[in-house]
Structure 1
Amino acid sequence: MGNLLSFIFPPKSRFSFDDIPDQSGRIAIITGGNSGIGMVACKVLLSKGAKVYMASRSKERALPAINQLKQATGKTDIHLLELDLADLQSVRRAAEEFTRKENRLHMLFNNGGVMTPPIEQLTKQGYDLQFGATVLGHAYLTKLLLPVLLSTAEEAPGKVRVVHTSSCGHANAVEGGIDIKTLTDGPARTKAGTWQMYFQSKWGNAAYSSELAGRYGSQGLVSIAFDPGNIRTSLHKNMPKLGYYILNTILLYDLEPYGGLQILYAGTMPQAGKLNGCYLVPWARIGNVKPDTRDPSLGARLWQWCEEEIAKFEQARRL
């Protein structure tokens, strides 16, 4: 009960955006940056002097958001990176576009995602929409950007961050974290239902973060996952109306400043350079994560599955 109450009613944050040091000369990519906590991260990083790439699948939504942030901050170094995480071809195009323009990357925020859409929705390549976009899409993006991340980390070890948006819902995933049979269309996925697919995708974010930390931490890369907390965003739009009303009126916290606390602490604070492989909870505290997300065999299995699916895609596009 103590842990549950601490999640619903976290202690007052000791961290605020004012604590973030100057980010001049640093470059960031934020997926899902045109709304919710992604937009808060874009706003704060831009105001602190970073060069920001707002990665979004919707140019129509992103451009007004970019203009809004320019007006709010008085800064202009924010750019659209068109990216649809539910289409691996779009992920490749976005990574290629970024690396044509930049040879450094200090912060990659794997933040974009979707929550409990209709179960029949799939990615462009036929994966469950939630797992395919949130886990596989981000895994491919990270893989493509690893060379520039690692070369940047050579210059600034501990200052290059890959930050993954997970959720306390990861604790409700099936035993072992994921059921491979549910990741593509079929009766197993339909039976699992949209909520279980959400839980598995958030487990995947936490486990992938841990695996990335283990594989590349020795090369100066810092990988951190976090639970954003109960934040008032459009992510809950697919919930039943009564449940959303109760959640919105009683349990949700305002997007600003609460929505940006963990993601920005992980990405910008010097002391977070020592948190490789850690999991943050509201508000910007090291917290507990489901132990199996740190099981090396399960992390390796998830990593291998992502690598195999990426290899299938890359082979198909070469034919």
Structure 2
Amino acid sequence: MKLLYIRALLSAINQSFPPKSKFSVDDIPDLTGKVIIVTGANQGVGKETAKALLQHNAKVYIAARSEERAKEAIKDLKSQTGKEAQFLLLDLADLHSVKRAAEEFTGKETQLHILFNNGGVMIPPMEQVTAQNIDLQFGTNVLGHFYLTKLLLPTLLATAAATPGHPARVVNTSSLVSESVHSINFNTLKDSPARKRAGPNALYGQSKFGNAVFSNELQRRYSAEGIVSVALNPGNLKTELQRHIPGFMRSIINVMLYPVPYGALTQLWAGTTEEGASLGGKYLIPWARVGKSDPAAVDPEVGKALWTWLEEQVAGI
């Protein structure tokens, strides 16, 4: 236990004060012909990711639950890039909405080169749960993205098959806090006394650990068929995710946070570069570096258990 604590502390220092990035958005290759989805791209890191993708000629779908905010983002991005993103209505906290979004996308597109599972929530009020009564953080951050990925897998696999040597990529946004969690307490994933005892901070860390576990299990199951799946810590950033943190704490935390554009670097590196195609199963850290995965996050038994639970939740939707 002591060794785990020391490892987590050293990792936190390394990732909280990263060296200057060797990768920049200027290193992104031309993405003409590439079809890409970015969840939660109406703001924050997702919007910065979409901006860089548009600047390099990708066809970008901004998947978000608020049409009004997404269309404001699309208008803003067009003014900055000259390119227009597409809107995809997606509420990750409602599995029926996820299904409709996947159906809408596959009705329009036959290819999907990169899926950025970027959207998420952080430390919302405890009474908030998903439409299916799952903890809002795990339901949005993990289950919603799992179901979206599952429904889009046929398109991802077909895209990979049509372009030998060029895998389709799934980029999963995790967090530094994932490294402080080494297991999933399935009793806390639905509203219950165990969930209330855990509290919002622990549940957030568990959801981010779940992102890493899911990413690794996806890589194990589909890498042989042309899928590259990675998880990453985007960095300590000033974003809307902190909106539920009390004001006085947020002002203290802000001193240690980086501007939002930094947060897009690692996932753009993973999703767009030639080097990124070789990073399947890796855990990436700020800025555009390969880190050390939590041993629990790469444990096949942990991955299998999570995948089984996720499949159970979407059965019959």
Indicate the residue corresponding to 1:53 in structure 2: 61
Residue 223 of structure 1 is aligned with which of 216, 219, 229? 229
Residue 67 of structure 1 is aligned with which of 56, 70, 75? 75
Residue 255 of structure 1 is aligned with which of 252, 260, 267? 260
CA distance in 1, matches of 2:167, 2:286: 22
CA distance in 1, matches of 2:77, 2:128: 32
CA distance in 1, matches of 2:216, 2:46: 21
Aligned pairs for 1:48-127 within 5 A: 48-76=56-84, 78-127=85-134
For residues 79-115 of structure 1, the C-alpha deviation after alignment (integer angstroms, 9 at most, x for no partner) is: 1000000000000000000000000000001111000
Residue 43 of structure 1 is aligned with which of 31, 35, 51? 51
Residue 212 of structure 2 is aligned with which of 201, 206, 211? 206
CA distance in 2, matches of 1:170, 1:210: 13
Instruction: Give 3-state SS (helix, strand or coil) of 2:228's partner.
Output: strand
Number of residues of Structure 1 aligned to a counterpart in Structure 2: 308
CA distance in 2, matches of 1:217, 1:4: 29
CA contact (8 A) 1:159 1:270 kept: no
Instruction: Give 3-state SS (helix, strand or coil) of 1:122's partner.
Output: coil
CA distance in 2, matches of 1:183, 1:8: 29
For residues 219-259 of structure 1, the C-alpha deviation after alignment (integer angstroms, 9 at most, x for no partner) is: 111001100111111111111222210111x2111112x12
CA contact (8 A) 1:31 1:109 kept: yes
For residues 158-178 of structure 1, the C-alpha deviation after alignment (integer angstroms, 9 at most, x for no partner) is: 4311000000111222x4x21
For residues 165-207 of structure 1, the C-alpha deviation after alignment (integer angstroms, 9 at most, x for no partner) is: 000111222x4x2101100011000000001110110000000
For the pair 1:139 / 2:143, whether they are aligned, the reply is no
Indicate the residue corresponding to 2:271 in structure 1: 267
Instruction: Give 3-state SS (helix, strand or coil) of 2:88's partner.
Output: strand
CA distance in 2, matches of 1:115, 1:289: 22
Instruction: Give 3-state SS (helix, strand or coil) of 1:309's partner.
Output: helix
RMSD: 1.0
Read off the aligned partner of 2:14 and give its amino acid letter.
S
Residue 277 of structure 1 is aligned with which of 281, 295, 300? 281
Alpha-carbon shift at residue 60 of structure 1 (Å) = 1.1
Indicate the residue corresponding to 1:240 in structure 2: 246
CA distance in 2, matches of 1:14, 1:101: 37
**What 5-or-longer segments of structure 1 have no aligned partner?**
315-319
For residues 42-78 of structure 1, the C-alpha deviation after alignment (integer angstroms, 9 at most, x for no partner) is: 11101100000000000111101100001100112x1
Instruction: Give 3-state SS (helix, strand or coil) of 1:288's partner.
Output: coil
CA distance in 2, matches of 1:218, 1:51: 26
CA distance in 2, matches of 1:186, 1:9: 38
For the pair 1:6 / 2:10, whether they are aligned, the reply is no
CA contact (8 A) 1:158 1:274 kept: no
Indicate the residue corresponding to 2:136 in structure 1: 129
CA distance in 2, matches of 1:212, 1:95: 18
Residue 191 of structure 1 is aligned with which of 192, 197, 203? 197
Read off the aligned partner of 1:181 and give its amino acid letter.
N
CA contact (8 A) 2:238 2:260 kept: yes
Instruction: Give 3-state SS (helix, strand or coil) of 2:144's partner.
Output: helix
Aligned pairs for 1:17-32 within 5 A: 17-32=25-40
CA distance in 1, matches of 2:10, 2:109: 46
Counting aligned pairs with the same residue, the percent is 52
- Relative to the length of structure 1, the TM-score reads 0.95
Read off the aligned partner of 2:258 and give its amino acid letter.
Y
CA contact (8 A) 1:158 1:222 kept: no
Read off the aligned partner of 1:217 and give its amino acid letter.
S
CA contact (8 A) 2:265 2:287 kept: yes
For the pair 1:169 / 2:180, whether they are aligned, the reply is no
CA contact (8 A) 2:178 2:208 kept: yes
Indicate the residue corresponding to 1:317 in structure 2: none
CA distance in 2, matches of 1:180, 1:98: 31
CA distance in 2, matches of 1:9, 1:158: 33
CA distance in 1, matches of 2:269, 2:209: 21
Instruction: Give 3-state SS (helix, strand or coil) of 1:150's partner.
Output: helix
CA distance in 1, matches of 2:79, 2:70: 14
